[in-house]
Structure 1
Amino acid sequence: MCIIHTHHPVSLKKSLPISQFNRIRRLCSREEDFQTQAYDLEARFKDRHYTLEWITSARKRFEGMSQMECLYAPKRPNTEPRINCIVQFSPVSHEFQSIIQQYWHIIASDPSLTCFTSTPRVVFKRPPNLRNLLVRAHNPPQPEHFLHQIPQGNYKCGQCAQCNFTTKTKIFHHPLTGKPLHIKGVITCNTNNVIYMLRCPCGLAYIGKTTRSLKTRIAEHRSNIRNHNDKSPVAIHFTAASHNVSSLRYIGIEHVKSPSRGGDVNSLLLKREAYWIYTLGTLFPKGLNEDFDLRPFL
């Protein structure tokens, strides 16, 4: 039971006496047992500063009912399904709810929104509490190698042909503003799950992601350029601008670690790829990206 002065929704606090008196009515087959438990429950609600009106109303609701009536209460008839608008609860949530109800007629009058046949039901979900903010339920494993001591940055592996097209650096520059940005993670040509940036001689940039080694993906880009692949935006630009494949430059900008408890790392990569495409402004015509995938955010 929550204390009455907390910031829980009023509807939740009003429903607690009802649900608790209903519970003891279902458990008690004898009336004297119900009255004993109801008296004790009423005292506990008073200790939590619940109003006498709420407590008395909930108790009287079940005093005139039998145990069997509570156990086999008739089900409510199915009504027309309503759309739920799920938001985090806050002290001003009731204002949000009243605004929706007050101006719903504007949405209802839009012919393109005929799927909304009735006012949505505002449903509150619990916001993060102190435990969510301060306590970590799972500690990441300690690294078993010395790489955690190496400063974050992009490094050459020194053993592949793609090393000639990158550079050792801790930062990279925004392709439009020139602002220096820090590379996230220790990235080499052999690193998997990488967000990378390609640069052409005319300054345009392309953001991509790969679950394989970075050198494998870069080799594919160079192959697409040499073969004039008309399905690759990078190859199309290099062909149209008569750039030589040797002028391609790349840099790994973020290493996306696989979730320690498992999960879809490709979905994480798609989210980070979309973030960097938006942040660096690499969508056509300012860059070479044609679009980015928003499905991982849905």
Structure 2
Amino acid sequence: MEMVQRFEDRGYSRDFLVKQMQKAMGVERVNLLVSTENIKKRNTGKRLPFVSTYNAHSDRIKSIVYRHWEILEKDRHYGTLFREKPLFSYKRARSVGDQLTRTDIGVRCSRQPTFFGTPQKGTYPCLTCQCGSSIIKGNKFNHPSKGYEIGLKDFATCTTMGVIYMIKCPCGKAYVGKTKRQIRVRIGEHKRSIDNCDLDRMKYVTPVSRHFKTHGHNSKQLRWLVLQVVKFPMRGGNQDKILLQQEVLWIEKLNTLAPMGLNEDLSYSCFY
């Protein structure tokens, strides 16, 4: 009663304090020693989370769903799946500051000064390696299966790094790949795998080398170009993830997934 008297001296009503004291006295001591985090996990563990961006109507939507939840519970097909009401969770919406400012000051530019003046668009030889003879030159190329022209937006040479590239075989089929290294290093690996491909011993077998070997092509018939020079954020970021995302987009755009093309795998996990 001493604590009740203290709160009463501060202006709280005695009836309210007595009710709260009786409520506290009715709670078992064992329950008071249980972590509140465990209680929350136990109460919300089986509830289906509903995640949305918070806005002015979020509370109203929540109350409407809770009010009419019994309609879903009585559904003949889905009633057994939704026994518990959903747990509404929210992510922060874009503020005015997010729309007016940028957290990243720009992109890292790694373009080499090969041309004096304005660089051309397309892929061009560096004149210091053997990969230049197999480049598909020009600022545009034809879609591998549909034939329409696609313009290139970047300038690249054999020494450009962080690119999405395309390989074409004499059949006309294409392969889309990515690399963080100089493109000539990756093209050299493709050519060596074609020259050394052994299907019986399963050595140097890749989607490209397997196709070239089974169709009687050789590495000198390989043609390639850079589709995109990927621009990475100044702060770095996950470069592999950025390259994978752009690679998937180009595989979809050029329809190079087997059997139309030479790409054998396509995963969208890089977007999550």
Unaligned runs of at least 5 residues, structure 1: 1-29, 35-60, 111-115
Alignment partners' CA distance in 1, 2:149 and 2:265: 24
CA contact (8 A) 2:191 2:219 kept: yes
Q: Quick check: 2:142–2:150 contact (8 Å CA) kept in 1?
A: yes
**In the alignment, structure 1 residue 244 sits paired with structure 2 residue 210:** no
- Separation (CA, whole Å) in 1 of partners of 2:103 and 2:240: 24
Q: Who is 2:168 aligned against? A: 199
Separation in structure 2 between the aligned mates of residue 175 and residue 191 of structure 1, nearest angstrom: 23
CA apart distance, 1:244: 2.5
Q: 2:147 aligns with which of 170, 178, 187?
A: 178
Shift of 1:109: 5.6
The question of whether the paired residues in 1 share the 8 Å contact of 2:168 and 2:223 is answered with: yes
Q: CA deviation at 1:176?
A: 1.9
- Per the alignment, do residues 119 and 65 of structure 1 end up closer, same or farther by CA in structure 2, a change over 3 Å counting? closer
Give distance in 2, aligned partners of 1:220 and 1:287.
20
Do the aligned residues in 2 keep the contact of 1:156 with 1:188 (CA within 8 Å)? yes
Tell me which of 28, 33, 52 is aligned to 1:87: 52
C-alpha distance in 2 between matches for 1:152 and 1:131: 36
Equivalent in 68, 86, 101 of residue 135 of structure 1? 101
The structural deviation recorded for 1:143 is: 5.6
Paired with 1:170 and 1:119, the residues of 2 have a C-alpha distance of: 57
Which consecutive residues of structure 2, in runs of 5 or more, have no partner in the other structure? 1-8, 25-31, 200-204
What is the CA-CA distance between 1:132 and the residue it aligns to?
Answer: 2.1
Q: Does 1:264 align with 2:238?
A: yes
The residue type paired with residue 157 of structure 2 is T
Correspondence 1:39-58 to 2 at 5 A = none
Residue 263 (structure 2) pairs with residue 289 (structure 1):
yes
Paired residue total: 231
For 1:186, the aligned partner's letter is F
**Greater RCO (CA < 8 Å, at least 6 residues apart):** 2
Q: Match of 1:219?
A: 188
TM-score, structure 2 as length reference = 0.70
Instruction: Sort the Cα spacing of 1:224 and 1:139 in 2 relative to 1 into closer, same or farther, 3 A.
Output: same
The match for 2:249 is 275
The alpha carbon displacement at 1:85 in A equals: 2.9
> Aligned AA for 1:212?
R
AA in 2 matched with 1:137: T
Query: How many angstroms apart in 1 are the aligned matches of 2:111 and 2:269?
Result: 36
Alpha-carbon distance, 1:90 to partner: 5.3
For residues 133 and 150 of structure 2, the distance between their equivalents in structure 1, rounded to whole angstroms, comes to 22
Mapped to 1, the partners of 2:241 and 2:107 lie a distance apart of 22
Task: Judge conservation of contact 1:225–1:238 (CA < 8 Å) in 2.
Answer: yes
Q: Name the counterpart of 1:158.
A: 127
Q: Aligned partners of 1:142, 1:212: CA distance in 2, in Å?
A: 15
SS in 2 for 1:252: strand
Deviations 1:221-259 (A, max 9, x none): 111111125530111111111112211111110111232
Structure-1-length-normalised TM-score: 0.64
Shift of residue 92, structure 1, vs aligned partner: 7.0
Q: Tell me: CA distance 1:248–1:141, structure 2 relative to 1, closer, same or farther (3 Å).
A: closer
Give the one of 191, 200, 209 matched to 1:235. 209
Fraction of identical pairs, as percent: 31
Give the Cα separation in 2 of the matches to 1:145 and 1:280.
25
Mapped partners of 1:243, 1:145: distance in 2: 34
CA distance in 1, matches of 2:270, 2:172: 29
Q: For the aligned residues, what is the CA RMSD? A: 3.7
* Aligned partner of residue 132 in structure 2, secondary structure: helix
Q: What code does the residue aligned with 2:162 have?
A: N
1:31-72 CA-to-partner distances (Å, cap 9, x unmatched) read: 47x9xxxxxxxxxxxxxxxxxxxxxxxxxx99x989xx9xxx
